[in-house]
């Protein structure tokens, strides 16, 4: 029973460290590109 608790604790700590590293090192911002498109209005 103690081995299971230690394994779960170890996996939780490892997951927390992986999540923290991904949050700091991962670049989640999308590339921004300006798009210009002419619009034709049907005004008389």
Q: Report whether pLDDT(44) > 70.
A: no
Query: When comparing pLDDT for 26 and 44, which is higher?
Result: 26
For 3-41, write each residue's pLDDT tens digit: 999 999 999 999 999 999 988 887 777 889 999 999 988
Q: Which residue has the tokens 């991904």?
A: 22
pLDDT at 18: 94
Name the pTM for this structure: 0.54
Please count the helices (runs of H) and the strands (runs of E) in the chain: 1, 0
pLDDT at 37: 94
Q: 7: which 2 tokens?
A: 């394994």
């Amino acid at each position: 029973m103690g081995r299971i608790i230690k394994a779960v604790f170890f996996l939780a700590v490892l997951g927390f460290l992986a999540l923290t590293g991904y949050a700091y090192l991962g670049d989640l911002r999308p590339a921004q590109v300006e798009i210009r498109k002419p619009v034709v209005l049907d005004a008389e």
